[in-house]
Every structure is written in C-alpha cells, then in structure tokens.
A and B are shown apart, each in its own frame.
Chain A
Amino acid sequence: MRDLYQRLAVSPEANDQEISQAVASCQHSALRQDAEAVFAIAERRETYDTLHDTVSDIGRLRARLGLSHGAHWQGDVANDFSLPPDHAISRHDELVDRVSHAVSLYNRWRRLRGPWLLIAVFAAGAGIGIALGLALCLGLLPM
C-alpha cells in the first residue's frame, strides 16, 4: 500500500481533472501506470480512498502512541503513512486531569455548601422579616 496522492504530489481531496493532470505529467512510467489503474475508474478510487483513510488514521495513531517503528509497520506503508509525532498529550493523562479537576470542583462545592447555606438561610429570614414589618406598617396605618 503506497500513498499515491503523496507520490503524485496532489491532495487527497483533488478532483478528477487535477488528478488526471498530475497522472499525465508524472515522469515515472511504472507509477503512472499504477495511478491510471486506480484513478481512472470511480469505484476503484472510492475503494482506495476508504483504505487510504483507515491507513492514514492508523499512521496518526502510531505516531501518537510512539509505534512508528513497530515490527509490523514496515515497507511502503511505513514510508508513506508515518507522520512526525505531534505534541498532543496522552489522551489517558488528559482524561485523568479532567476527572481530577471535576473532583476538585465538586469537593469545593461540598466544602463551601455549609457556610453558604447558613448565609442564605439568614438572608432569607431577614428578607421575610423586613417584608412582614413593611406589611405590618402599611396594614397598621389605615387601622
């Protein structure tokens, strides 16, 4: 499995016309024959594209997991689909970070709930008292 798009220097999203141009201008006759066989027919290109997507996904996974030089990843595939390691951190570490962040938020809420509840009850009581007093004042005057 080779990456024909990379070898022809076109993007995988290129339309048929661009690809046929690239194929026609290719100087490597064996590569040109292979590319013609794959890209001349729409169904074949579709089949090739799905496999191409899967294999490039695997290439990305291998780069992120540090498996770009595995024993099972050699030859044309490894040449064409290996990516340089990007600086994405480990997904598991990220998950652990986020869980611990959520836990700390939750704990803070639990810890602060007592005092905040007291303040809320006090404020509610005061509000009700003021309202009652006002009502009493207004109710008493006409009496």
Chain B
Amino acid sequence: MSIARFSPFELLLLKSRSQVDTATLLLLAWVLVHRQHVSEGQRRRRLAQVTAQFRHGHELGPVISIAHSQDLQAIQLAAEVVRKECGTERSLSVLHQAITVATDDGELSLANHYILRFLADLLNVAPITLSTLFKELTGTPLAPPEDPSRDAYWQTHDPDYHARKAREAEAAEQQHQQANARAEQQQRKKEQRHQQKQQKQQEKQQRQEQARQAREQEQQRQREQTRQQEQARQRQQQQREQAEREQQRSRQQGSRQQHHQEHRNRQQRASPPPPDRTARALSVLGLTPGATRIEVRHAYRRMAQLHHPDRFYSESEQQVALASARFQRIKNAYDYLMQTY
C-alpha cells in the first residue's frame, strides 16, 4: 500500500460532482496554458465561458494552477477518466471545445498542434474527422505542424536575423576590399623602389659572376683528378673483400643463408612499408599479405556485417554516418582486391 497522500487534482476529482467534467476541465486548461499571447485573466474567463454547462461544482483556480505546473500524473489521470467515461458524442464535443479554446484568433501554437492530436487519439477520433471539425470551426484546414528543428523554419520565422547577418557579411566584404586596395597601392610603390635598386645591383653582380666562373672552372678540374684516384682505390678494396667472402662461404654455407635472410627481414622492417595498395587493402580487411581469395571474401562478409550502417540506425545519426564511412572503406578495399586477385 502506498503511503502517498492524495494529490490536489485527486482531491478535486473526489470532491467533484462530475468527474468527467473536472477531467475535461483540466485538459482544456492544459490546452489554454499552451496558447501564446494570452493573459492569465483572459485564460480564466475563456475557460469559464466554454465550460458554463459543466456540473463540476468547484472553483476553476486550482485546475488552472495544476495545468500551469504541467503535472504529468494529473494530466494522465484526467486523460484516463475522460477516455473511460466519454462516448462518441461526448468525445466530439470535448474535441470541439478543445479546438475553440486553442484557436480563438485562428492561430494554433505548435505545442497545441501536438496536444490536439493527442486528444484526438485519446478520444478515438479519426484524422479525417478532426480535420473536418477543425475546418468547420476555424475556416482554415488543419495544416501539419511546422518543424522548428529544421533550418527552413527559422529562415521563414526569423528573417530579421538572416537579413542582419547578410548585411554584416556585406560590410565585412567591403572593408576587406578596401584593405586589399590599400595594400595593393603600397605594394606597387614598394615594387618601383625595388626595381630601381635591382638595376644597380645587377650591374654589380654581372661583374662578380664573371670572376666566379673563372674560379669554378679551375676547381672542377682539380675535383676530377681526385675522383679518379679514389675510384682506383675502391676497386682494389672490392677485390679484397670478394676474396674474403668466398672463403667464408666455403666455411659455413647453411648458417650464412639463415643470417642473410634475417638481415633482409630486418631491413624490411626498418624501412617504411612500401606504398603497396594491395597490402593496404588487405590490412583494412584485417588480413596479412598472402591471403587467398576465399579468405578475402570471408573477411569482407564478416566486416560488412559488423560495420553495416543499418546496425546503428537506432543510435544517433552521427553513429550511422561514421559507420557508413567505415563501410565504404571496407567495400572499396574489397572491390580493389577482387579486381586484382
């Protein structure tokens, strides 16, 4: 047994002469609270006007304060009572009242779009019936609610902001252009000065270069002589090394081969991996070089199942986008391998 006390709305419902009327009153107050540009007194008067025929026999003040507090449990209780007690005729009249309360000035707030549709579902009213009722009462058809989670909504509902932004961008561009023009002028002046200087320098340089060329020719001749000497020395050394290596080979052929292989391996590891597209594609699929065609196909199937974007559909869109990027990479690798293998 719960030890919770009765909530204000439960007490109101128990004291009420007609539970359905009290519950309807709360739902209408909920709709009224979500109407914009209406003062508190206007809300109360409107509610009293609409519910003049009700037989609840209590004050409206507590109901409005409960609706203001957005007490979800109270609203749920009211919805249950209304659903349980309302027949077809009564439910249409409740919906009628809700629409009039929501759209006195013909404007339906976004929240009330959803609330009215919730009430229609609650009272088991088909969409066609709701739209005809709405059209009869307001003279305009019931449009689907606009979507403030999209950029297009704000483009139409907040044009001031976009106009301001466009103006700012224009001003910024003008400033930028002016700055550019100024900079260009300065640059031109600088270039003129620079050219004058360069002409003077060029004359000097020509003289210096002639002298340098003469010097360089002499140096080159010397360098060639030394290179010839060195080549002769190297040839002698190579001959000596070859003789030594042949001796070693005759001594221990088996162990040498092993050693040689190890050496080659080490060289491969130390140097950066060659830009081999096949090896990269294989590593994307989690395989080592030398994998067979069947292994590639199996690996692709496994990876595709693991990274398919549809698996992440229930999570956020970001996850889906990441997964599709991964999947694309895997698929590219597989396509490439299937062409080359």
Q: Which residue numbers of A lie inside 8 Å of B, CB to CB?
A: 1-4, 6-9, 22, 25-28, 31, 33-34, 36-38, 41, 44, 47-48, 50-51, 54-55, 57-58, 60-62, 64-65, 67, 70-73, 76-77, 90-92, 94-95, 98-99, 101
Contacts and interface: CB of A to CB of B under 8 A. Distances in A.
B76 A33 contact: no
B149 interface: yes
B117 A73 contact: yes
Interface stretch (B39-47, B79-87, B221-229, B232-240): B79-87
A141 to B, nearest CB: 55
Given A9-B316, A28-B317, A61-B118, A51 B76 contact: no
A58 B10 CA distance: 21
Interface of B: 1-2, 4, 6, 10, 13-14, 34, 70, 72-73, 75-77, 79-81, 83-84, 110-111, 114-115, 117-118, 120-122, 126-127, 130, 145, 147-151, 154-155, 158, 161, 315-322, 325
Nearest to B76: A91
Contact of B147 (A2, A71, A91, A94): A2
B326 to A, nearest CB: 11
Contacts of A1: 110, 114, 145, 147-149
A3 B13 CA distance: 35
A65 B120 contact: no
A79 to B, nearest CB: 10
15 contacts: A3-B149, A6-B316, A54-B111, A54-B114, A55-B111, A58-B114, A58-B118, A61-B75, A64-B76, A67-B118, A67-B121, A67-B122, A70-B117, A72-B121, A98-B10
A101 B1 contact: yes
Given A72-B118, A98-B2, 7 more contacts: A1-B114, A6-B316, A7-B316, A8-B317, A44-B148, A58-B114, A77-B114
B84 to A, nearest CB: 7
Most buried by B among A1, A7, A72, A90: A72
Most buried by A among B34, B120, B151, B318: B318
B134 to A, nearest CB: 12
A9 B149 contact: no
Contacts of B115: 54, 58
B94 to A, nearest CB: 15
B325 A27 contact: yes
A7 B118 CA distance: 24
Contacts of B120: 72
Nearest to B111: A54
Contacts of A94: 2
Contacts of A47: 148
Contact of A71 (B83, B114, B126, B154): B126
Nearest to B33: A54
A26 B318 contact: yes
Nearest to A4: B149
A37 B151 contact: yes
Minimum-distance CB pairs A-B, first 3 = A27-B321, A70-B121, A72-B117
Contact of B154 (A37, A61, A73, A77): A37
A76 B153 CA distance: 15
A57 B318 contact: no
B318 A28 contact: yes
A92 B149 contact: no
A135 to B, nearest CB: 46
B111 A90 contact: no
A61 B149 contact: no
A33 to B, nearest CB: 5
Contact of A65 (B80, B111, B317): B80
A28 B4 CA distance: 48
Contacts of A31: 317
Given A65-B83, A65-B122, A34 B151 contact: yes
Given A8-B316, A54-B114, A95-B13, A73 B148 contact: no
Contacts of B73: 91
Contact of A92 (B77, B318, B319): B77
Nearest to A33: B151
B318 A61 contact: no
Most buried by B among A2, A50, A51: A51
A79 B13 CA distance: 34
Nearest to A65: B79
Nearest to A101: B1
A48 B146 CA distance: 12
Given A27-B318, A54-B34, A101-B1, A44 B79 contact: no
